[in-house]
Amino acid sequence: MAAAEPLLASSLQDLTLRLASQELKDFARREGFVADVRKWRATLVEVMDLLVDAEEKQNTKAVVKIWLSDLTHLAYDLDDDNKHSGNDNFPSSHLVSDYN
């Protein structure tokens, strides 16, 4: 996502890292929802691919540019809400890895 808004790209990267955290892996195994986490990760990859495609098309399709702008504003709103709630439960210090 070379041209993506920094917060949007950062938010997706942060979410990817959180899904790969050891704490979440351990919790998912203990609570029995490893398959769900795998689906979330797969969906996140699809979303990132969609955003890369949208970034390429935003210069030629106005509706894509508007959608990407709206999505960026949503990311900023979510980031603000997260900061105000103090909700930072998962550390973002782990690399993406498989749940095998």
Domain ranges of the chain: 6-85
| Residue 99 confidence (pLDDT) | 38
- CA-based nearest residue to 9, from 61, 65, 51, 56: 51
- pLDDT for the residue 94: 35
* pLDDT score for 66: 92
* Token pair listed for 4: 């993506």
pLDDT attached to residue 71: 85
Of 55, 61, 80, residue with least CA distance to 2: 55
Report yes or no: 8 and 79 within 8 Å, Cβ to Cβ. no
Tens of each residue's pLDDT in the chain, 100 residues: 444 566 677 777 778 888 888 888 899 999 998 999 889 888 888 888 888 888 889 999 999 999 988 888 887 777 777 677 665 554 333 333 333 3
- pLDDT score at 21: 85
H helix intervals, 2-95: 6-19, 22-31, 34-57, 62-85
User: Quick one: angle between helices 34-57 and 62-85, nearest 10?
Assistant: 140
